[in-house]
Amino acid sequence: MLNAVRQEIAAIADKIVVKVGTRTLTGPDGQLDMGQITSIADQIAGLRAEGRNVVLVSSGAVGAGIGRLGLTERPTDLSQLQAAAAVGQSCLIECYNHALEKHGLHAAQVLLTADDMHDRRRYLNARNTLRALFEYGAVPIVNENDTVRVEELRRSMGDNDRLAALVTNLIRAPLMVLLTDVEGLYDGHPKDEGSKVIPLVRELDEVLEHAGESSNEGLRLSTGGMASKLQAVQISTEAGENVVIANGRRPNVLRDILAGETIGTLFIAAGASVRDRKRWIGWSVHPEGKLRLDAGAEHAIAEEGGSLLAVGITGVEGNFDKGDVVSLVGPSGEEFARGQTNYGSDDVRQVMGEPTERFGEILGSWSYYDVVHRDNLTVLRA
């Protein structure tokens, strides 16, 4: 069934990030399913023929490595798991390349970590490389750099869902599609009788309670379950992009989503598309510290687009330097914004609660009227 909202989103989706989970790419024994890889590659070629640029974020390296090494179970030792990922990653790219070649396209391997997104220079380098790959007509295939980034291979830490959201923010893609083994977000566990797919979500808060873990069957190669997908959805929708979660085994799933069909769950952007630098501040950087604010400061920043003045700061946590990104926390204790600070933590401790007029007297010399200027500040909407 065609849907007007979905058609509007499809019309603006000139860049799309598609994330494919392990469950979509491997069979129950963990072996790569070549039929699935071919189907994803064919569909990406179709989107490119429509003039859309696609970044594929693909899991499956650990599964493919287990298959190629002939292991009968998922290693529990971390270095063996990383070794399996390294073996599997080359198979994965080989398979994608083979499938894309038929369409005259090349697979480009891009291995990233959340730390690469944190570091401003690496972040910009990654963005430039992806742009250049689009110009060459290649298909960037992103996976976590499993060899160096240990947390992602453990359960319940960062994973490819989050990486896909960071890449969506990096290239400002109007649409991210998370392909998995269920039809979308259900209002209960998908295996429970009576659970139904939620077709449209405008307020993420209203559905967070439904997100459960991965079903933990078979080789347990997936990492996050629906909870990690909804965290990824939150990052992208807050930045002003749209997300669909759908079943990656549904024939022509990407083509049909981009035709505006009601497939899976659509999460609508929480507001206008956030500017590039503010995206990096809001979702890519790991904050170095925390500033506690009173209600007046929270209101001025969250509701009126103001800057942060020292007079509204009630507490400082952590040690940070001028230029670092810090979390801004209101009286409720919840983080509501992030910003790049003009003062290091030692100075902020001295001037907090004070009017700017007293900075000279307290600090000796001073340069900035605001502790965080509004141009360097991102309000987290959800």
Ligand X SMILES: Nc1ncnc2c1ncn2[C@@H]1O[C@H](COP(=O)(O)OP(=O)(O)O)[C@@H](O)[C@H]1O
Does residue 181 have a known ligand-binding role? yes
Type of residue at 155: R
User: Where are the extended beta strands (E) located within 81-168?
Assistant: 107-112, 139-144
Per rule CB under 6 A, is residue 158 in the interface with ligand VHF? Answer: no
> Min. distance of Cβ 179 from ligand X in angstroms?
7
Number of residues that bind ligand X (CB under 6 A): 21
Out of 116, 159, 256, 347, the only residue in the binding site for ligand VHF (CB under 6 A) is 159
15 is an annotated ligand-binding site residue: no
- Is there a binding annotation on residue 278? no
The answer to whether 57 and 20 have CB atoms below 8 angstroms apart is yes
CB distance 214 to 224 below 8 Å: yes
Q: Round the CA-based radius of gyration of the chain to a whole number and report it.
A: 22
- Vertex 107 angle, CA 105 and 110, to 5°: 145
Which has the closest alpha carbon to 237: 287, 210, 284, 202?
Answer: 202
Q: Pick one of 46, 212, 315, 344: the residue that binds ligand X (CB under 6 A).
A: 212
**Considering the rule CB under 6 A, would residue 224 count as an interface residue with ligand X?**
yes
Least gap, CB of 279 to ligand X (angstroms):
23
| Residue 39 contact among ligand VHF, ligand X, none, beta carbon within 5 to 8 Å by kind | none
Q: How far is CA 219 from CA 29, 90, 143, 346, 381, in A?
A: 7, 20, 19, 49, 37
Residues between 64 and 93 with contacts to ligand VHF, criterion CB under 6 A: 85
Contact 338, 287 (CB under 8 A): yes
Q: What single DSSP character describes residue 141?
A: E
Rounded-to-5 percentages of helix, strand, coil across the chain: 45, 20, 40
For residue 210, the partner it binds in ligand X, ligand VHF, none, with Cβ less than 5 to 8 A by kind, is ligand X
**160 near ligand VHF (CB under 6 A):** yes
Q: How many residues bind ligand VHF (CB under 6 A)?
A: 17
Map the footprint of ligand X across residues 290-329, applying CB under 6 A.
Answer: none
- Binding of ligand X at residue 110 (CB under 6 A)? no
To ligand X, the closest distance from the beta carbon of 149 in angstroms equals: 17
Is 168 an interacting residue with respect to ligand VHF (CB under 6 A)? no
Q: To the nearest whole angstrom, how small is the minimum distance from the Cβ of residue 165 to ligand X?
A: 13
Q: Which of 224, 240, 264, 339 binds ligand VHF (CB under 6 A)?
A: 224
- Is residue 292 within 8 Å of residue 334, measured between CB atoms? no
* Residues 14-33 within binding reach of ligand VHF (CB under 6 A): 21-23
The answer to whether 341 is annotated as binding is no
Query: Distances in Å between the alpha carbon of 218 and those of 29, 71, 74, 330?
Result: 7, 14, 10, 44
Q: Are 254 and 45 within 8 A, CB to CB? A: no
Backbone phi and psi for residue 232, each to the nearest 5 degrees, phi listed first: -65, -40
Task: Give the one entry of ligand X, ligand VHF, none that residue 211 binds, where binding means its C-beta sits below a cut-off of 5 to 8 angstroms depending on kind.
Answer: ligand X
Site for ligand VHF, rule CB under 6 A: 21-23, 59-63, 85, 143-144, 146, 159-160, 222-224
Site for ligand X, rule CB under 6 A: 21-24, 180-182, 185-186, 189-190, 210-212, 214-215, 222-226
Sequence ranges of the binding site for substrate: 59, 146, 160
